[in-house]
Every structure is written in C-alpha cells, then in structure tokens.
Structure 1
Amino acid sequence: MNLEQFTGSDGQPARRYEYDDGVVFAVDFGPEFGDAAIDLVDDTVIVVVEEEQYEFELPDGADDAHTFIKNGVLTVELEGEL
C-alpha cells in the first residue's frame, strides 16, 4: 500500500503498524470526513471522500483484509505475512 498518496498536498497523517500476525494501515482524513465511503474490491481498497476518490492495491501476501472508517480515520487491517 502506498501511503504517500495520502500524505501529499492534503496533509493527512498516515501510519503503518506491524504486528506478529499482520499489518494495520491508518489514514486520518479528519472528523469532517466521517461519512466517507469505503469498499474493498478484490485486492483494491476504494475510498470516496466528498468528491475525491482514492484507490490503492493491497500488498502481496495479504491473506485477509478488513477495512473501516471511524471518526474520519480509515483503518485497513491485513492478516498474514507481508
């Protein structure tokens, strides 16, 4: 997953957290974007925030992905060896 696309001119903080059983990516769009839509299609995460759409591929080796957004923070939880 390319986190740089989220930290560019818009300045959203993006982080990667590695654990023994997987990886978590978190992108803070801010509380005003709490109504963002998120979808997972095959190995692509699609996020629609207002009129902006972001798409990114999950990394190779991601066995299972869980995505959600709460209080404007997008979280992508990946299981498996990455």
Structure 2
Amino acid sequence: MFSKEKIGKGRKGMRVVLLLLLVSCFFSVDANAQCAMCRAALESEESGVQAGAVNDGIVYLMAIPYILVGAIGYAIYRLKYGSKRKEK
C-alpha cells in the first residue's frame, strides 16, 4: 500500500514545508493596516481614551468569530458523542 518512493516523497515535502515555516518565522514584514481617518483621530488626542476604545473594539471584533466557532464545535461534539453515552 505504501511504497518506499511515496514515503520518501512525503518526507521531502514535509522538509520543504518545515523549512519555509522556519524561514517565515525569522523574516517579518512591517505593515501599516490602519486607515488614515483612524490614525488621525488616535494621534490627535493626548489622553488616550479614544485609542483604548479602538483597541477594545478590535478585541471584541476578534473574539466573536472564535466564540461562534467554539460553540458550533461544541454543539457538533455533543450531537456526535452525546448519544453514545446514553446508549451505554
């Protein structure tokens, strides 16, 4: 089923992926991903209240998809493995 040629090619491919992952960890690209209006609003205020509010909003927007995926994953887990416990 698994020949030595296929196993050898798989290992070589894995080495390439590992090498690319290692190289990408050492080199990073600096990106300015903030729109001009947000940057102007945050730089003009000295107290930092608005900057804190923007950061809180970013965290909120980032957390919602993770919570949804987790809830869906848990529901699927309960549907798949919940009925097996009841049968035993």
Q: TM-score, normalised by structure 1?
A: 0.17
Relative to total residues, which structure has the larger strand share, 1 or 2? 1
More RCO (CA 8 Å, sep 6+): 1
